[in-house]
Structure 1
Amino acid sequence: MKIKSIKEQYNGISYNYFDSTSNKVCFMFSGTGYTYEKPLLYYSTELMLELGYDVVQVCYSFNSKQFEQEPEAISAMVYNAANSIVEYVLSTKSYTEAVYIGKSLGTLPITDFYMQQSSPIPSRYVLLTPLLGLEHVMKNLLEKQAFLAVGTTDPHYSKESLEQLSSHELAIVENADHSLEITNHTVETVIICQSLLTKLKTYLQ
């Protein structure tokens, strides 16, 4: 990347900060195994920098025992880790706009908390493979608005659920899995990534 990240830590949570000297900020929350080096999050970071945003990648980590809780408790756990960084960064600079991008686990604090709160600044939300199989997630998405991408072979994909989410900008990828990839179809997977980033850029402009 042309803009190198600054590795920081606050309240015991690490984060990568890409400072493009902007008054707009993008907060990114990764999945459990889908890290910021993976294609969709790597190129989403590049895209947000291209669009003139500072980018904050929250680098939380949890052990397997912590995932034995109820889904709502897991969501709160991720939110508490992420929000300490969000609140800290927002207190350090007068941002006028925010975008929240989450992948899988990282969509939980967005759907369950940020989308339900009154934001101090105008905010938009990007949900890459949200956990639509969780009842509380679906409930929290109803009558809200976000960019939502999901593959039809993702275990959390549900045609019936998506039909209820017509208020969202939906990107439904045929035959794509939970990583929004098609197994053993490398070129098609790269094309999917390009298509999603093109749609996301249009959504954010």
Structure 2
Amino acid sequence: MEVNLGKIKGIEKDVTYTQIENGGPAVCFMFSGAGYTYDKPLFYYSTMTLLQNRFDVVHIHYSYEQDITKQPLVDITKVMVGDCSPVIAKVSQKKEYQETMFLGKSLGTIPLINGFMKDERHIDSKMVLLTPLLKFDPVFEGVMSSNHPIHLVIGEKDPHYVPEKIQRIKTKTNISMNQYPDANHSLDIEPFHTSRSIKVVESVMNGLAEFIKSKS
């Protein structure tokens, strides 16, 4: 296994990324949340699960002002897709992969849903959406209009858990879902409950492994 750091020019600044090469035929590009970074449990164990299933993994490192979510969604999408697309292009040029997957959490689901899902170059890619920002109607509508294989994970104490929208998403045959009672936006159990929170992470990883192995 090789771990390499890279840097490439984004829209306004350089974007760095970490590429973990496992020698496998597939790659997963990861998109972090605003404050939920790649060393946090969901990303740490997602990375491990992917490597275990012979994926190369690319962590894309970006940082924005805290109020970026107050900007119009179209502007957020434009900036994030503009920053991340050169990384995807560079990695894909280096090696021709048989399969490409995208995994994002929270803020990181915006460029997936409103950007890369609409790009014909990624029409066959699987999408993993951890705690997507479903309160924003364009995000929800993007999920509903997509035909990609999607795996969606959300907690019922997440402010972006909207029961009516979740019920509509469940009607989509291309979407598998794990939802967790008492889990917040970090998928921690409220009030603080360590053992149950660890079990949620284990369940999320089992669901991810099943999704990885499923036929598109």
One-letter code aligned to 2:3: S
Distance 1:178 1:120, change over 3 A: closer
- The residue aligned with 1:169 is 176
- The residue aligned with 1:40 is 42
- The residue aligned with 2:162 is 158
Structure 1 residue 22 displacement after superposition: 2.1
Structure 1 residue ranges (4+ consecutive) displaced by more than 6 angstroms after TM superposition: none
Contact 2:117 2:123 in 1 (8 A): no
Distance 2:124 2:64 in 1: 30
Q: Which runs of 5+ in 2 are unaligned?
A: none
One-letter code aligned to 1:21: G
Per-residue CA distance 1:52-85 (angstroms, 9 max, x = gap): 0110000011123544421221122112111121
Q: Which runs of 5+ in 1 are unaligned?
A: none
Structure 1 residue 122 displacement after superposition: 3.4
1:92 to 91, 94, 98: 94
TM-score w.r.t. length of structure 2: 0.89
Per-residue CA distance 1:98-122 (angstroms, 9 max, x = gap): 1100000000111111112213573
Matched, 1:103 2:110: no
- The residue aligned with 2:3 is 5
Per-residue CA distance 1:120-153 (angstroms, 9 max, x = gap): 5731000000000001011111143410000001
One-letter code aligned to 1:177: N
Aligned length: 203
Contact 2:32 2:106 in 1 (8 A): yes
- The residue aligned with 1:194 is 202
Contact 1:129 1:149 in 2 (8 A): yes
Distance 1:164 1:66 in 2: 28
Residues 113-122 or 173-182, more deviating? 113-122
TM-score w.r.t. length of structure 1: 0.94
Distance 1:32 1:5 in 2: 24
Q: How does 1:56-75 map to 2 (within 5 A)?
A: 56-64=58-66, 66-75=68-77
Distance 2:70 2:139 in 1: 18
One-letter code aligned to 1:190: I
Distance 1:123 1:185 in 2: 35
Structure 1 residue 175 displacement after superposition: 0.6
Distance 2:160 2:69 in 1: 17
1:114 to 110, 113, 116: 116
Distance 1:107 1:22 in 2: 25
- The residue aligned with 2:31 is 29
Structure 1 residue 6 displacement after superposition: 1.5
Distance 1:64 1:179 in 2: 17
Q: How does 1:139-158 map to 2 (within 5 A)?
A: 139-144=141-146, 145-158=149-162
